[in-house]
Amino acid sequence: MKAHHYLGALPKIGHTLWYVASYHNQWLALISFSAAAWKCAARDQWIGWSYRVQYDRLHLIANNSRFLILPEHHYPNLASRVLSLCERRISQDWQQRFGYPLLLLETFVDPQLFHGTIYRASNWVHVGDTRGYRRIRQGYSPSAQQPKQVFVRPLEKRAQTHLSQPMLSPCYGYGAPKIMLTADQMRTLPEFFLDIPDPRRKQGQRHSLPCILALATAAVLCGMEGYKAIGSWADDLGQKARARFGCRKRNGRYQVPSRTTFRETLISVDPAQLDLALQGWNEQFAEADEGLAVDGKNLRNAIDEDGRQTHILGVVGHQTGRCHTQKKSVLCL
């Protein structure tokens, strides 16, 4: 791949599978499938999903990130045959390797070099072109480059329906529910925590309490679990995203709190005040649920200060699957 593909070898991008097409123990072609692009307007419009559910379902799409027919083996129909064989087995392979199936394949074709003939011949759908921006570690490239053609290939007849419907079938779920925050949500999220008393000492404070709580909340909404994951998620934010959250600026760069800061702050903040603030955000931005499920659990070996067993009551929306609130309550007998 490194020697013959015009883009060179591909580093591992999220969940990735590599295939080798061979005949009589001789390699004919190399092909890889990786994690889907975070954002692609042409693909997203074709699917018809809401940004609220998009981030929670990107794992059901794989990107054909590399495809190489070795120079000495350019036989008629070989490329379409390789694609067809991959399409038949990749969802099952993905299920066995990563724990969930796939619904859609995508790929990007540079029109200056190729016409996408292989994909068209294999019944892939040209859904439009990209805007030409390339994703980099700091976010996206500052200027548009050459737009690329976007092709998709459904692996099931109802792939669009599964990806865009309000409730995702449990067989396609993976990890905790997560959403993608818009720029406006990032900017307004800290405002919901302005009224929470700051339990920290004034001395040595580097980050405001609303900023810390907003970053932690956003990380959890995006599927992060635990202080380490929250800290890593914040570290990966670009400068524009950090500015939207109101992060501290030093030497011309926006800085995020450390994992220790997240942990110590979340442990010391008033949980009732935090829950009230999160309910306010839910009321303004969360999708409306037509029905709510209320359920309670007794926590084994958890006794409160009055000697009573701790009982947790939670409210979850039927349509969105989001937890609207969770409170400790007195057990009713």
Spatial distance between the Cα atoms of 288 and 178, rounded to a whole number of angstroms: 16
pLDDT given at position 7: 75
Which residue is listed with tokens 């302005």?
Answer: 194
pLDDT given at position 132: 78
CA distance to 11, 177, 210, per residue, from 29 (Å): 18, 37, 53
pLDDT given at position 221: 80
pLDDT given at position 226: 86
pLDDT given at position 289: 59
Spatial distance between the Cα atoms of 23 and 249, rounded to a whole number of angstroms: 58
With b for 16 or more beta-carbon neighbours within 10 A and e for fewer, the 86-108 pattern comes to bbeebbeebeeebebbbbbbbbb
pLDDT given at position 215: 94
Spatial distance between the Cα atoms of 188 and 280, rounded to a whole number of angstroms: 12
Contacts of 249 (CB under 8 A, 6+ apart): 243, 255
Residue 190, strand partner residues: none
Instruction: List the chain pLDDT tens, one digit each, 333 residues.
Output: 677 776 777 776 678 999 999 998 899 999 999 999 888 899 999 999 887 778 888 999 999 999 999 888 888 889 999 999 999 999 999 999 999 999 999 999 999 988 899 999 999 999 999 887 666 555 556 666 789 999 999 999 999 999 988 777 778 877 666 667 888 888 999 999 999 999 888 887 889 999 999 999 998 887 788 888 899 889 988 889 999 999 999 999 999 999 999 999 998 988 888 888 888 877 776 655 556 667 666 666 566 666 666 666 666 665 555 665 666 655 544
Question: Do 17 and 93 form a contact (C-beta atoms < 8 A)?
Answer: yes
pLDDT given at position 297: 66
The CA dihedral of 50, 281, 212, 193, to the nearest 10 degrees, is 160
pTM of the model: 0.65
Question: Do 140 and 239 form a contact (C-beta atoms < 8 A)?
Answer: no
Question: Do 104 and 157 form a contact (C-beta atoms < 8 A)?
Answer: no
